[in-house]
Protein backbone atom coordinates (compact mmCIF):
# COMPACT_ATOMS: atom_id res chain seq x y z
CA UNK A 1 0.00 0.00 0.00
CA UNK A 2 1.43 3.46 -0.94
CA UNK A 3 1.91 6.09 1.75
CA UNK A 4 -1.40 7.77 2.55
CA UNK A 5 -2.25 11.21 1.19
CA UNK A 6 -5.29 12.79 2.82
CA UNK A 7 -7.38 15.04 0.56
CA UNK A 8 -10.75 14.96 2.33
CA UNK A 9 -10.39 18.00 4.60
CA UNK A 10 -13.85 19.31 3.69
CA UNK A 11 -15.20 16.34 5.67
CA UNK A 12 -12.80 16.73 8.57
CA UNK A 13 -9.23 17.98 8.84
CA UNK A 14 -6.52 15.38 9.19
CA UNK A 15 -3.97 15.12 10.56
CA UNK A 16 -4.44 17.48 13.47
CA UNK A 17 -1.63 19.55 15.00
CA UNK A 18 0.32 17.45 17.46
CA UNK A 19 -0.81 19.72 20.29
CA UNK A 20 -4.40 18.57 19.72
CA UNK A 21 -3.58 14.93 20.38
CA UNK A 22 -1.57 15.90 23.46
CA UNK A 23 -4.38 18.08 24.85
CA UNK A 24 -7.05 15.40 24.43
CA UNK A 25 -4.79 12.81 26.02
CA UNK A 26 -3.96 15.17 28.90
CA UNK A 27 -7.65 15.73 29.59
CA UNK A 28 -8.50 12.05 29.46
CA UNK A 29 -5.58 10.97 31.64
CA UNK A 30 -5.04 13.90 34.01
CA UNK A 31 -8.26 15.97 34.27
CA UNK A 32 -11.30 13.85 33.52
CA UNK A 33 -13.96 16.02 35.20
CA UNK A 34 -17.06 17.64 33.72
CA UNK A 35 -16.98 21.30 32.69
CA UNK A 36 -18.64 23.73 35.10
CA UNK A 37 -19.59 21.00 37.56
CA UNK A 38 -17.35 21.51 40.57
CA UNK A 39 -14.63 23.48 42.31
CA UNK A 40 -11.82 20.95 42.58
CA UNK A 41 -8.41 21.76 41.09
CA UNK A 42 -9.21 19.59 38.11
CA UNK A 43 -12.55 21.33 37.61
CA UNK A 44 -10.88 24.73 37.76
CA UNK A 45 -8.29 23.62 35.21
CA UNK A 46 -10.96 22.27 32.86
CA UNK A 47 -13.01 25.45 33.12
CA UNK A 48 -9.93 27.57 32.42
CA UNK A 49 -9.22 25.59 29.24
CA UNK A 50 -12.77 26.04 27.97
CA UNK A 51 -12.70 29.74 28.84
CA UNK A 52 -9.45 30.13 26.89
CA UNK A 53 -10.99 28.24 23.99
CA UNK A 54 -13.98 30.57 23.94
CA UNK A 55 -11.70 33.58 23.97
CA UNK A 56 -9.57 32.24 21.12
CA UNK A 57 -12.63 31.60 18.97
CA UNK A 58 -13.89 35.13 19.63
CA UNK A 59 -10.53 36.59 18.70
CA UNK A 60 -10.11 34.50 15.55
CA UNK A 61 -13.62 35.17 14.21
CA UNK A 62 -14.08 38.73 15.50
CA UNK A 63 -16.97 37.95 17.84
CA UNK A 64 -18.02 40.83 20.07
CA UNK A 65 -17.08 38.94 23.25
CA UNK A 66 -16.19 35.46 24.39
CA UNK A 67 -19.58 34.85 26.01
CA UNK A 68 -21.17 35.19 22.55
CA UNK A 69 -19.36 32.05 21.46
CA UNK A 70 -21.70 29.11 22.07
CA UNK A 71 -20.24 25.62 22.00
CA UNK A 72 -22.27 22.91 20.29
CA UNK A 73 -21.44 19.40 19.15
CA UNK A 74 -20.90 20.05 15.43
CA UNK A 75 -21.78 22.49 12.65
CA UNK A 76 -25.14 20.82 12.09
CA UNK A 77 -26.01 21.30 15.75
CA UNK A 78 -25.10 24.99 15.44
CA UNK A 79 -27.24 25.46 12.34
CA UNK A 80 -30.19 23.70 13.96
CA UNK A 81 -29.95 25.97 16.99
CA UNK A 82 -29.82 29.05 14.78
CA UNK A 83 -32.71 28.00 12.54
CA UNK A 84 -35.01 26.45 15.13
CA UNK A 85 -34.22 29.08 17.75
CA UNK A 86 -35.02 32.04 15.48
CA UNK A 87 -37.96 30.93 13.37
CA UNK A 88 -41.55 31.36 14.52
CA UNK A 89 -44.73 29.92 12.97
CA UNK A 90 -45.57 31.68 9.71
CA UNK A 91 -42.13 33.24 9.19
CA UNK A 92 -40.49 33.52 5.78
CA UNK A 93 -36.91 32.40 5.02
CA UNK A 94 -34.66 33.11 2.06
CA UNK A 95 -31.96 30.58 1.25
CA UNK A 96 -30.44 29.00 -1.86
CA UNK A 97 -30.88 25.78 -3.78
CA UNK A 98 -27.25 24.75 -3.16
CA UNK A 99 -27.26 24.63 0.62
CA UNK A 100 -26.05 21.67 2.63
CA UNK A 101 -28.75 19.39 4.01
CA UNK A 102 -27.86 20.71 7.47
CA UNK A 103 -29.68 23.87 6.38
CA UNK A 104 -32.33 22.50 4.05
CA UNK A 105 -33.62 19.69 6.26
CA UNK A 106 -34.29 21.85 9.36
CA UNK A 107 -36.00 24.37 7.09
CA UNK A 108 -38.20 21.69 5.53
CA UNK A 109 -39.16 20.52 9.02
CA UNK A 110 -40.08 24.10 9.97
CA UNK A 111 -42.09 24.41 6.77
CA UNK A 112 -44.03 21.23 7.44
CA UNK A 113 -44.60 21.59 11.16
CA UNK A 114 -44.77 25.35 11.72
CA UNK A 115 -45.96 26.87 8.47
CA UNK A 116 -42.65 28.55 7.71
CA UNK A 117 -42.40 29.53 4.04
CA UNK A 118 -39.15 29.18 2.11
CA UNK A 119 -37.85 31.03 -0.95
CA UNK A 120 -35.00 29.23 -2.73
CA UNK A 121 -32.65 31.37 -4.80
CA UNK A 122 -30.90 29.63 -7.70
CA UNK A 123 -27.24 30.67 -8.13
CA UNK A 124 -25.56 31.49 -11.44
CA UNK A 125 -23.77 28.87 -13.55
CA UNK A 126 -20.64 29.06 -11.38
CA UNK A 127 -22.65 28.53 -8.20
CA UNK A 128 -22.56 32.13 -6.97
CA UNK A 129 -25.62 33.47 -5.18
CA UNK A 130 -26.61 36.76 -6.81
CA UNK A 131 -27.46 39.46 -4.22
CA UNK A 132 -30.07 40.87 -6.61
CA UNK A 133 -31.87 37.53 -6.54
CA UNK A 134 -31.80 37.53 -2.74
CA UNK A 135 -33.20 41.05 -2.68
CA UNK A 136 -35.98 40.06 -5.08
CA UNK A 137 -36.95 37.15 -2.81
CA UNK A 138 -37.36 39.28 0.31
CA UNK A 139 -40.85 39.85 1.73
CA UNK A 140 -42.38 41.90 4.49
CA UNK A 141 -42.42 38.79 6.70
CA UNK A 142 -38.88 37.60 5.95
CA UNK A 143 -37.27 36.82 9.28
CA UNK A 144 -34.13 34.99 8.19
CA UNK A 145 -31.63 34.68 5.37
CA UNK A 146 -29.40 31.64 5.67
CA UNK A 147 -26.63 30.81 3.20
CA UNK A 148 -23.39 28.92 2.98
CA UNK A 149 -20.17 30.92 2.94
CA UNK A 150 -18.47 28.47 0.57
CA UNK A 151 -19.65 25.30 -1.12
CA UNK A 152 -18.47 21.96 0.19
CA UNK A 153 -18.61 20.64 -3.40
CA UNK A 154 -16.94 23.33 -5.53
CA UNK A 155 -15.55 25.71 -2.91
CA UNK A 156 -17.25 28.72 -4.53
CA UNK A 157 -17.23 31.68 -2.11
CA UNK A 158 -20.41 33.71 -1.76
CA UNK A 159 -20.81 37.53 -1.53
CA UNK A 160 -21.81 37.47 2.11
CA UNK A 161 -21.23 41.17 2.79
CA UNK A 162 -23.81 42.08 0.13
CA UNK A 163 -26.25 39.42 1.32
CA UNK A 164 -25.88 40.50 4.92
CA UNK A 165 -26.52 44.12 3.98
CA UNK A 166 -29.79 43.09 2.33
CA UNK A 167 -30.81 41.37 5.57
CA UNK A 168 -30.01 44.55 7.52
CA UNK A 169 -32.05 46.71 5.14
CA UNK A 170 -35.10 44.47 5.54
CA UNK A 171 -34.82 43.93 9.30
CA UNK A 172 -34.08 40.22 8.87
CA UNK A 173 -31.43 38.05 10.50
CA UNK A 174 -28.51 36.59 8.55
CA UNK A 175 -27.24 33.13 9.53
CA UNK A 176 -23.96 32.17 7.86
CA UNK A 177 -22.90 28.55 7.39
CA UNK A 178 -19.12 28.85 7.65
CA UNK A 179 -18.41 25.11 7.71
CA UNK A 180 -15.96 25.37 4.81
CA UNK A 181 -14.46 28.78 5.57
CA UNK A 182 -13.70 29.08 9.29
CA UNK A 183 -9.94 28.59 9.46
CA UNK A 184 -9.62 28.78 5.66
CA UNK A 185 -10.77 32.36 5.00
CA UNK A 186 -10.20 35.40 7.23
CA UNK A 187 -13.49 36.18 9.00
CA UNK A 188 -14.11 39.26 11.14
CA UNK A 189 -17.64 39.42 12.48
CA UNK A 190 -17.06 42.98 13.64
CA UNK A 191 -16.73 44.04 10.00
CA UNK A 192 -19.42 42.04 8.19
CA UNK A 193 -23.24 42.11 8.63
CA UNK A 194 -23.67 38.60 9.99
CA UNK A 195 -25.96 37.92 12.94
CA UNK A 196 -25.10 34.27 13.55
CA UNK A 197 -22.12 32.29 12.34
CA UNK A 198 -22.24 28.50 12.55
CA UNK A 199 -19.26 26.23 12.01
CA UNK A 200 -17.76 22.95 13.22
CA UNK A 201 -14.57 22.85 15.23
CA UNK A 202 -13.18 19.81 13.42
CA UNK A 203 -12.67 21.15 9.89
CA UNK A 204 -10.67 24.29 9.16
CA UNK A 205 -10.29 25.06 12.87
CA UNK A 206 -8.34 21.77 13.21
CA UNK A 207 -10.02 20.54 16.39
CA UNK A 208 -11.51 17.12 17.19
CA UNK A 209 -14.83 15.82 15.93
CA UNK A 210 -17.76 16.49 18.23
CA UNK A 211 -17.10 20.23 18.52
CA UNK A 212 -19.17 23.06 17.04
CA UNK A 213 -19.55 26.82 17.35
CA UNK A 214 -22.36 29.34 17.05
CA UNK A 215 -21.31 33.00 17.32
CA UNK A 216 -24.04 35.52 18.16
CA UNK A 217 -24.07 39.24 17.56
CA UNK A 218 -24.93 41.43 20.60
CA UNK A 219 -28.57 41.37 21.75
CA UNK A 220 -29.44 38.36 19.60
CA UNK A 221 -29.97 36.22 22.69
CA UNK A 222 -33.25 38.09 23.22
CA UNK A 223 -34.60 36.64 19.94
CA UNK A 224 -32.86 33.26 19.79
CA UNK A 225 -34.72 30.66 21.83
CA UNK A 226 -32.81 27.77 23.37
CA UNK A 227 -33.70 24.44 21.79
CA UNK A 228 -32.42 22.29 24.64
CA UNK A 229 -32.98 22.82 28.36
CA UNK A 230 -31.34 21.23 31.36
CA UNK A 231 -28.47 21.41 33.77
CA UNK A 232 -25.84 24.08 33.18
CA UNK A 233 -23.95 24.03 36.45
CA UNK A 234 -25.34 27.52 37.14
CA UNK A 235 -28.53 28.89 38.73
CA UNK A 236 -29.23 25.38 39.97
CA UNK A 237 -31.81 26.66 42.47
CA UNK A 238 -34.05 27.76 39.58
CA UNK A 239 -36.05 25.33 37.44
CA UNK A 240 -36.18 27.82 34.56
CA UNK A 241 -33.41 27.84 31.97
CA UNK A 242 -30.81 30.55 32.72
CA UNK A 243 -30.80 33.44 30.26
CA UNK A 244 -27.18 34.43 30.71
CA UNK A 245 -24.64 33.65 27.99
CA UNK A 246 -23.42 31.17 27.08
CA UNK A 247 -25.31 29.03 29.63
CA UNK A 248 -28.66 29.66 27.94
CA UNK A 249 -27.61 27.44 25.01
CA UNK A 250 -25.23 24.95 26.65
CA UNK A 251 -27.36 22.54 28.67
CA UNK A 252 -25.85 19.21 29.59
CA UNK A 253 -22.23 18.18 29.74
CA UNK A 254 -19.82 19.59 27.20
CA UNK A 255 -17.56 17.48 25.03
CA UNK A 256 -14.70 18.24 27.39
CA UNK A 257 -11.96 16.25 25.58
CA UNK A 258 -13.02 17.80 22.29
CA UNK A 259 -12.94 21.36 23.62
CA UNK A 260 -9.53 20.78 25.16
CA UNK A 261 -8.35 19.64 21.75
CA UNK A 262 -10.00 22.60 20.04
CA UNK A 263 -8.32 25.03 22.43
CA UNK A 264 -4.96 23.53 21.51
CA UNK A 265 -5.83 23.58 17.80
CA UNK A 266 -6.58 27.29 17.86
CA UNK A 267 -3.02 27.98 19.01
CA UNK A 268 -1.93 26.87 15.54
CA UNK A 269 -3.29 30.17 14.22
CA UNK A 270 -0.97 32.13 16.51
CA UNK A 271 2.01 31.00 14.44
CA UNK A 272 0.31 30.91 11.03
CA UNK A 273 -2.35 33.42 10.07
CA UNK A 274 -5.56 32.47 8.29
CA UNK A 275 -4.51 34.76 5.42
CA UNK A 276 -1.25 32.83 5.03
CA UNK A 277 -3.23 29.57 5.03
CA UNK A 278 -5.58 30.96 2.37
CA UNK A 279 -2.68 32.08 0.18
CA UNK A 280 -1.06 28.66 0.33
CA UNK A 281 -4.30 26.78 -0.25
CA UNK A 282 -5.15 28.92 -3.27
CA UNK A 283 -1.77 28.11 -4.80
CA UNK A 284 -2.41 24.39 -4.26
CA UNK A 285 -5.96 24.76 -5.57
CA UNK A 286 -4.71 26.43 -8.73
CA UNK A 287 -2.13 23.67 -9.17
CA UNK A 288 -4.82 21.01 -8.73
CA UNK A 289 -7.26 22.62 -11.17
CA UNK A 290 -4.61 23.20 -13.82
CA UNK A 291 -3.35 19.65 -13.44
CA UNK A 292 -6.82 18.15 -13.79
CA UNK A 293 -7.65 20.37 -16.77
CA UNK A 294 -4.77 18.80 -18.70
CA UNK A 295 -6.36 15.35 -18.49
CA UNK A 296 -8.73 14.40 -21.29
CA UNK A 297 -12.26 13.59 -20.18
CA UNK A 298 -12.08 15.43 -16.85
CA UNK A 299 -14.63 18.17 -16.10
CA UNK A 300 -14.29 20.55 -13.13
CA UNK A 301 -17.47 22.42 -12.12
CA UNK A 302 -17.18 25.74 -10.35
CA UNK A 303 -15.18 28.97 -10.45
CA UNK A 304 -11.43 29.70 -10.83
CA UNK A 305 -9.07 28.96 -7.95
CA UNK A 306 -9.04 32.54 -6.66
CA UNK A 307 -12.83 32.49 -6.23
CA UNK A 308 -13.03 29.35 -4.11
CA UNK A 309 -11.60 27.73 -1.02
CA UNK A 310 -9.51 24.60 -1.47
CA UNK A 311 -12.33 22.32 -2.57
CA UNK A 312 -12.25 20.90 -6.11
CA UNK A 313 -14.71 18.34 -7.47
CA UNK A 314 -14.42 16.65 -10.85
CA UNK A 315 -16.23 14.23 -13.12
CA UNK A 316 -14.33 11.76 -15.31
CA UNK A 317 -15.96 10.58 -18.51
CA UNK A 318 -16.86 6.91 -18.35
CA UNK A 319 -15.86 6.42 -14.70
CA UNK A 320 -18.15 6.35 -11.67
CA UNK A 321 -16.99 8.76 -8.96
CA UNK A 322 -17.24 6.13 -6.21
CA UNK A 323 -15.23 3.66 -8.25
CA UNK A 324 -12.56 6.28 -8.86
CA UNK A 325 -12.37 7.12 -5.15
CA UNK A 326 -11.92 3.44 -4.33
CA UNK A 327 -9.12 3.10 -6.88
CA UNK A 328 -7.38 6.20 -5.54
CA UNK A 329 -7.55 4.81 -2.02
CA UNK A 330 -6.62 1.19 -2.72
CA UNK A 331 -4.02 1.64 -5.48
CA UNK A 332 -2.56 5.09 -4.77
CA UNK A 333 -3.16 5.66 -1.04
CA UNK A 334 -5.08 8.89 -1.74
CA UNK A 335 -8.17 9.57 0.37
CA UNK A 336 -10.95 11.63 -1.24
CA UNK A 337 -14.74 11.60 -1.11
CA UNK A 338 -17.21 10.74 -3.84
CA UNK A 339 -20.94 11.26 -4.04
CA UNK A 340 -23.45 14.05 -3.47
CA UNK A 341 -21.69 15.37 -0.34
CA UNK A 342 -25.03 16.06 1.43
CA UNK A 343 -25.56 18.95 -1.01
CA UNK A 344 -27.66 17.63 -3.91
CA UNK A 345 -28.68 21.09 -5.12
CA UNK A 346 -25.26 22.11 -6.34
CA UNK A 347 -24.93 18.77 -8.11
CA UNK A 348 -28.23 19.46 -9.87
CA UNK A 349 -26.89 22.89 -10.85
CA UNK A 350 -23.77 21.38 -12.40
CA UNK A 351 -25.46 18.33 -13.89
CA UNK A 352 -23.71 15.79 -11.67
CA UNK A 353 -26.65 14.67 -9.53
CA UNK A 354 -28.16 12.03 -11.81
CA UNK A 355 -24.80 10.31 -12.18
CA UNK A 356 -24.30 9.95 -8.43
CA UNK A 357 -22.25 13.06 -7.82
CA UNK A 358 -18.59 13.88 -8.25
CA UNK A 359 -15.13 13.06 -6.97
CA UNK A 360 -14.02 15.66 -4.44
CA UNK A 361 -10.52 16.72 -3.46
CA UNK A 362 -10.32 19.08 -0.47
CA UNK A 363 -7.11 20.64 0.77
CA UNK A 364 -5.92 21.37 4.28
CA UNK A 365 -3.07 23.08 6.06
CA UNK A 366 -0.82 20.02 5.94
CA UNK A 367 -1.12 19.33 2.23
CA UNK A 368 1.76 20.04 -0.15
CA UNK A 369 2.52 20.50 -3.83
CA UNK A 370 3.74 16.91 -3.84
CA UNK A 371 0.32 15.73 -2.62
CA UNK A 372 -1.42 17.62 -5.40
CA UNK A 373 1.00 16.33 -8.03
CA UNK A 374 0.43 12.76 -6.85
CA UNK A 375 -3.34 13.24 -7.08
CA UNK A 376 -3.31 14.62 -10.62
CA UNK A 377 -0.86 11.93 -11.77
CA UNK A 378 -3.12 9.27 -10.29
CA UNK A 379 -6.18 10.66 -12.08
CA UNK A 380 -4.20 10.75 -15.34
CA UNK A 381 -3.22 7.14 -14.84
CA UNK A 382 -6.77 6.04 -14.02
CA UNK A 383 -8.28 8.05 -16.85
CA UNK A 384 -5.75 6.74 -19.34
CA UNK A 385 -6.55 3.19 -18.35
CA UNK A 386 -10.23 3.42 -19.22
Q: What topology is assigned to 18-271 in CATH?
A: 3.40.640
Measured over the CA atoms of residue 27, residue 32, residue 33 and residue 35, the dihedral's sign is: positive
Give the pLDDT of residue 385.
Answer: 63
Q: What positions carry a catalytic annotation?
A: 342
Q: Where in the chain is the domain with CATH 3.40.640.10?
A: 18-271
In this prediction, residue 337 carries a pLDDT of 98
Q: Which residues of the chain are in CATH 3.90.1150.10 domains?
A: 5-15+273-384
Give Cα 352 to chain centroid, integer Å. 22
Amino acid 315: pLDDT: 97
Low-confidence ranges of the chain (pLDDT < 50): none
- Total-model pTM: 0.97
| Domain at 5-15+273-384, CATH from 3.90.1150.10, 3.40.50.620, 3.30.365.10, 3.40.50.2300 | 3.90.1150.10
CA angle 128, 131, 112 (to 5 degrees): 85
Per-residue confidence (pLDDT) for residue 336, from 0 to 100: 98
pLDDT digits (tens, 9 = 90+) for 40-68: 999 999 999 999 999 999 999 999 999 99
Amino acid sequence: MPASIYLDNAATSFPKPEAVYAAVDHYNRQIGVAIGRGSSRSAVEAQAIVDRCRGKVAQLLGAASADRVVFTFNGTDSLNLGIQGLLRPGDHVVTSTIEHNSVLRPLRRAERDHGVSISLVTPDSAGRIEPAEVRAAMRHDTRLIVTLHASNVTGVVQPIADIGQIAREHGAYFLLDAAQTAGHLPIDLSQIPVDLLACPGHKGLLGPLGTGILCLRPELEHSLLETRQGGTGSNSEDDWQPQSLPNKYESGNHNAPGLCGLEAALSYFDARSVQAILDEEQLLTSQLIEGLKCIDGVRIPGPPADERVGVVSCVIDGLDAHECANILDEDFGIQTRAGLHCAPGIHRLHGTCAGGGSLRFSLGVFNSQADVAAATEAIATISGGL
